[in-house]
């Protein structure tokens, strides 16, 4: 074990006496740009464990979150200047096992933290202390709030203009972020409609307050909306793209707002986009004084801290369900270990998950933590 203050490193850091931080670790690395995650990403077995700088924490990851956009990242769509190979994974929850001297003013070894930062698909990640979120304990439920919950909270608050009685349509409502859009719209006293792909998902949606569920595998969504909501819907929280986007656009009420938070149907395509009937878009929007807004969390980081604080408070009070899907019902069972991230991404794209997909990283490290 490294001693608690190791003077042999140029950037001094504090370590937990006897925590036996290994010198190497497993991590996932993008080695080829492709929207096929299995083709793009390699599991490296013996990467060096990074050292925290003066203002950093070394976090031993216990749970990591799977996001639809992991495929966009592995395809190089977010930053064309990025050079191969590069680390992947956007969010994690774990324990602080070492930290820089400046970071020790606010954090201690053994503390539970969450973070959003590229490189979470690893056993250990260096996180700037300023970007970490202290948690009361290491629980996977906290992970659901970091990207998925914050996306729903900020987009609906900033772009949704929710008020009592408004009709809100959430596509992929039983997914990682959809579950929060449903609950937050209900808290704003809206009437919430959710689309999903199974009766089991419909049951989950009803349990979190969804007023009307539509199983798009067995029902014609367009017909149901036209029949039950002839005046249209006021807000759409849209993450599917393609035909669902067209359908949602056509279902907007006068002055309706469609918020695009993603288009999952297009992520695995080589082009990245499913075609939409955009030629008629100006006429459709003008006719209804309707609007379409895109939402990308990175552009709203000034709102992030406040959003997360509210979400954490709601969860702690029992006012928010944070559904986690560990893949227990998937063919090969629960997602445990970095090698199961590949299965977890497949599971998401098959539309099997209810709630946020989370992978657990077990640690057999001899530790007092």
41-75 pLDDT, tens digit each: 999 999 999 989 999 999 999 999 999 999 999 99
At 70, list the tokens.
Answer: 């992991």
At 324, list the tokens.
Answer: 């986690």
pLDDT band at 173 (very low <50, low <70, confident <90, very high): very high
pLDDT score for 364: 56
- Share of residues in the chain with pLDDT > 70 (%): 92
The answer on pLDDT for 365 being more than 90 is no
pLDDT band at 3 (very low <50, low <70, confident <90, very high): very low
3-state DSSP assignment of residue 147: helix
Beta bridge partners of 360: 63, 336
How many angstroms separate the Cα of 95 from the Cα of each of 98, 112, 114, 327? 9, 5, 9, 23
- Neighbour count for residue 291 (Cβ, 10 Å): 13
Q: Comparing C-alpha atoms, which of 362, 352, 363, 310 is closest to residue 66?
A: 352
Please spell the DSSP secondary structure of 262-282, one letter per residue: --GGGTTSSSS-----GGGHH
- Neighbour count for residue 329 (Cβ, 10 Å): 13
Fold of the domain spanning 146-299:
Rossmann fold (3.40.50)
How many angstroms separate the Cα of 299 from the Cα of each of 4, 155, 161, 208, 259? 39, 11, 18, 29, 14
Average pLDDT over residues 155-184: 98
Q: Which residues contact 103 (CB under 8 A, 6 or more apart)?
A: 52, 54, 55, 56, 57, 129
For the domain covering 24-138+323-360, report its CATH number: 3.90.180.10
Segments making up each domain of the chain, as ranges: 24-138+323-360, 146-299
- Rounded to the nearest integer, the mean pLDDT of the chain is 91
pLDDT score for 145: 98
16 vs 99, higher pLDDT: 99
253-297 pLDDT, tens digit each: 999 999 999 999 889 877 666 778 877 899 999 999 999 999 999
SS3 of the chain: helix, strand, coil, percent, to 5:
30, 25, 45
11 vs 209, higher pLDDT: 209
């Amino acid at each position: 074990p490294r001693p608690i203050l190791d003077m042999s490193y140029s950037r001094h850091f504090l370590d937990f006496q006897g925590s036996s931080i290994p010198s190497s670790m497993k991590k996932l690395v993008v080695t080829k740009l492709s929207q096929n995650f299995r083709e793009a990403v390699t599991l490296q077995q013996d990467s060096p464990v990074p050292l925290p700088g003066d203002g950093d924490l070394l976090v031993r990851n216990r749970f990591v979150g799977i996001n639809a956009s992991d495929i966009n990242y592995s395809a190089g769509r977010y930053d064309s200047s990025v050079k191969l190979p590069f680390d992947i994974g956007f969010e994690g929850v774990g324990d602080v096992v070492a930290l820089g001297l400046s970071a020790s003013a606010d954090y201690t070894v053994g503390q539970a933290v969450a973070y959003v930062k590229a490189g979470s698909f690893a056993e250990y990640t260096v996180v700037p202390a300023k970007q970490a979120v202290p948690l009361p304990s290491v629980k996977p439920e906290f992970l659901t709030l970091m990207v998925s919950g914050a996306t729903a909270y900020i987009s609906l608050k900033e772009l949704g203009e929710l008020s009592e009685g408004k009709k809100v349509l959430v596509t992929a409502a039983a997914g990682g972020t959809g579950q929060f859009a449903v609950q937050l719209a209900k808290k704003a006293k809206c009437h919430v409609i959710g689309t999903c792909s199974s009766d089991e998902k419909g049951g989950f949606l009803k349990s979190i307050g969804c007023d009307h569920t539509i199983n798009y595998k067995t029902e014609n969504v367009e017909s149901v909306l036209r029949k039950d909501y002839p005046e249209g819907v006021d807000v759409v929280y849209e993450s599917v793209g393609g035909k669902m986007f067209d359908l949602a656009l056509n279902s907007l009420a006068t002055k309706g707002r469609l918020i695009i938070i993603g288009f999952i149907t297009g992520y695995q395509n080589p082009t990245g986009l499913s075609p939409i009937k955009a030629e008629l878009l100006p006429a459709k929007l003008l006719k209804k004084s309707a609007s379409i807004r895109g939402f990308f969390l990175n552009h709203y980081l000034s709102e992030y801290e406040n959003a997360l604080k509210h979400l954490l408070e709601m969860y702690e009070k029992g006012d928010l369900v944070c559904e986690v899907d560990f893949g227990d019902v998937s063919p090969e069972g629960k997602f445990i270990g970095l090698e199961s991230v590949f299965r977890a991404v497949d599971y998401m794209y098959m539309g099997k998950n209810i709630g946020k997909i989370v992978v657990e990283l077990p640690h057999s490290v001899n530790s007092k933590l």
